[in-house]
Structures are given as structure tokens and as C-alpha cells.
Amino acid sequence: MVTVETLEQLLDELKSMKLTVPEVIRQRVRINMNQQQPLIHRQHRRFPRWLSSGVAVIPAVAVACGAVAYGARASVGRPNHPTAVNDQASVESYDYQKQLGFQPVLPTQAPLPLTQTMASKDLNTSGGDYRIFLANYGSGTDQYLTVMEGRSGHVEDRHIVRVDWRKRLIGDIHLEELVLPNGECQIVFTQRGLEYHLTAFKKSGISVTQLEQLCQRFSQPVTQPPDVTHVGTFGVQQAEKLLSFPVLPPKYIPQGFGQSEVRADVVIRGSYKWESFMYQLFGDKQALITVQELRTEGKEPNAPGAHNLSTAAVGQPRKLNIAGYSVSVLRHDAQYTSLSWVMQNGVHMSAEGGVDLATMTKVVDSMYRK
């Protein structure tokens, strides 16, 4: 027979079941939150969520680099590294067939004004190359309705993001739809070999029925160049080809670290260009080191509410001289260090992760070693 005392003892034992977040997860979540993107080391996620919300969030990533927070903007020098022009299609002229491999189509009539379009390529991923087109409808920087389209399987792995889909036949279109508790409606359908993902946010006032009707009006080929182009790639060699600045992967790998992942991204919006190189080192189980190089050119688009979780240092940071650079120590303790600096060529650098300052200093120093 169960007694009250026994239940209390059971309760006591439950208290011992508290867990702590493994450091590698803690850091990944912080970094991914900074970038408003899903877990980038998991390449089963086909498309970075932060991009689907438009280029407006990109400065948030720039802030995450850390250097911006201290106004340490150096003049942007000329690229001293050949740029893979083919991969960095400008927005002035854009051949959709050539760049994306398909002709995007949008609805003939949409319930809201079209505010922004984007062409995006993720190259050299573990699953091959992914190319998609996005369109945002709404008002100003607010998006109320988004359309993403691409070859089947290129847009998003829905089994990771949402899986509670209902199958419908509307007209001659087989679609799957989802209405979330927060009022967000999503529909996915395939037409002429392309997969379309529509999302209507609650504030759009668009019902799932209206979204179903919208699916039947996808017949207007997009003729205008996209407002924004994005190219992403993986691997050091691919990054070197894509970016206009030299990439500096660390040569010193601290004990307990081994597996690495490299990602490079270029986003162009009119005269604004944003380039990022990210090198991540994964520890045995408890730590992650992220080195990021970031360069922007041109006038930044307006960025509402950029938030930053990892580099909110207060006051004047301590400075260190590492490899001839004045490096700001944003945070450091025995388990975590965050550094930022700016190179002569205008590239903003940051290194953060689950090691102490001495170890991180070695990592940064090794980036400049021949």
C-alpha cells in the first residue's frame, strides 16, 4: 500500500532528475537564435528559416558578429580575393532558368501587395544543390503571406518543421494544408513539377479557404528580377570561391574538438551586399566554437528589432593583441569566450565558444598562421 511518506520520498527522488543543457546544445541554440535560423548543422533542413522572413533580419546576424556593437566599422576595402561571379548573380539582371533551373510563377491576383521577392541557392549541401524562389506579401517590412517555390523537396523538409497536414483536392490541385493553433495557415501543393509552400500569418486575416483559392491562381510567370538574391554553400573550398574575402579557418584545434562545419552565404539586395563565412568546431560533447567572418557593402536595409543573445557585453571591452589585431574581449570565463575584431580589409571577425580565453586566443592566432 502506498503511503504518504512513500510518495514524498518519490517526490524527493524526482528532484534529482534535473538536467542541464549540454554545452554544445546551449551554444548552438544561442547562435541559431542570433541568426533566427534553424540548426544549420542539420542539413536535412532544406532552407534557412531566417531567409524566408526576408533580408531585413540580416543585420541581426551582423550584430551577432559582435564587432558592430562597438561601432568598429573600418572602411570597406576592395575585394582582394577573386569572386565567383557566376554564383553571385546580381539583382539587376536575373535569368531564373539559368540561376534557379525553373521559372517561378506567382498568383495572378493576390489578396495583398507583393513586397519582396528573393531567389536563393544552397549549393554543395549534403543533399545536393537547393534552389528556391520566395515572395512576401504584406505591408512595408511586415509579411503577412509568403510563397516559397522550387523543385520537389528543395523548399523545406516538412517532416522536421510541421507534419500535421491534411490532404485536400481543390479543383484539380492536390494539396496538403495545416492550420496551427496560432492561426497560421500553410498549404503545400505541386504544379508542373514545382512545389509551392504558402504561409498566411494570422495578422493577414487570410483563411485557409482563401489560401486554397489562391492556389488555383498560380499562373503568372515572374518576369522582374528578384529584390534579393542569396547563395549559400558548404566547405572551405566552396566558401573561398563564393566570397570576396579570404577565409581563415583555424588551424589550431583545441583538445576535445574535432568535427567541423563550414558555411558561407552571400546576400545581395540592390546595392547592399552581405557576405558571411562561418566555421564551427564541435567538441566531444560539451562545447562548440564558432568563428565568423562578415563583410557588408552598401547601404543596409532597415532592420527592425535586431536582437542578439550572445554579444551583449556592457561597457568598454578589454582589448587583446592577437596576431597583430586589436581584439575585443566581449565575454570570457572558464567555460566561454567571445572575441571580435576587424581586419584591415573591413571584414568583421568573431570567435566565440565553449573554451577559456587562452584557448580561444590560440584558435584566433592560428587563423593567421601560414
Partner 1 sequence: MGSAKIDEWFRDYADEIYSFLVRFTGTYDVEDMLQETFLRAVKNLPHFRGDSSPRTWLIAISRNVATDYFRRRKRVAMRETEADFASLPSPDTSPDALAELSDLRTTLHQAIQTLKPDYRSVVTLRGILELSTMEAAETLGWSETKVRVTLYRALKALHRQLEKQQLHGGIHAWLQ
Least separation in angstroms between residue 18's CB and partner 1 is 5
Q: Which is nearer to partner 1, 33 or 208 (CB)?
A: 33
339: left (phi over 0), alpha (psi -120 to 50) or beta: beta
Are 192 and 226 contacting, i.e. CB atoms less than 8 angstroms apart? no
Least separation in angstroms between residue 153's CB and partner 1 is 18
Give, for 258, the enclosing helix (H) or strand (E): strand 257-269
Site for partner 1 in 7-46 (CB under 8 A): 7, 9-11, 13-22, 25-26, 28-30, 32-33, 36, 38-39
Q: Which is nearer to partner 1, 74 or 309 (CB)?
A: 309
Residue selected from 108, 298, 304, 309 as contacting partner 1 according to rule CB under 8 A? 309
235: left (phi over 0), alpha (psi -120 to 50) or beta: left
Instruction: Give SS3 for 305.
Output: coil
How many residues sit close enough to partner 1 to count as binding (CB under 8 A)? 41
Least separation in angstroms between residue 233's CB and partner 1 is 24
Q: Which is nearer to partner 1, 30 or 131 (CB)?
A: 30
Site for partner 1 in 180-199 (CB under 8 A): 181
Q: Which is nearer to partner 1, 182 or 224 (CB)?
A: 182
Pairing of strands 114-125, 228-234: parallel
Residue selected from 127, 160, 203, 220 as contacting partner 1 according to rule CB under 8 A? 160
Are 340 and 278 contacting, i.e. CB atoms less than 8 angstroms apart? no
Tell me: does residue 74 bind partner 1 (CB under 8 A). Answer: no
Closest CA to 145 of 228, 103, 206, 191: 206
Least separation in angstroms between residue 175's CB and partner 1 is 16
Pairing of strands 194-200, 348-353: unpaired
Taking residue 283's Cβ as centre, other Cβ atoms within 10 Å add up to: 21
350, with CB counted inside 10 A (0-12, 13-18, 19+), is buried
Closest CA to 295 of 336, 350, 365, 367: 350
Q: Which is nearer to partner 1, 63 or 294 (CB)?
A: 63
Tell me the one-letter amino acid at 277: F
Tell me: does residue 308 bind partner 1 (CB under 8 A). Answer: yes
Residue selected from 203, 219, 237, 312 as contacting partner 1 according to rule CB under 8 A? 312
Least separation in angstroms between residue 20's CB and partner 1 is 5
Stretch that binds partner 1, among 139-147, 157-165, 191-199, 225-233 (CB under 8 A): 157-165
Tell me the three cell numbers of residue 15. 528532484
Taking residue 139's Cβ as centre, other Cβ atoms within 10 Å add up to: 12
Residue selected from 299, 307, 318, 319 as contacting partner 1 according to rule CB under 8 A? 307
Residues at the site binding partner 1, with contacts judged by CB under 8 A: 2, 6-7, 9-11, 13-22, 25-26, 28-30, 32-33, 36, 38-39, 159-160, 162-165, 181, 285, 305-310, 312
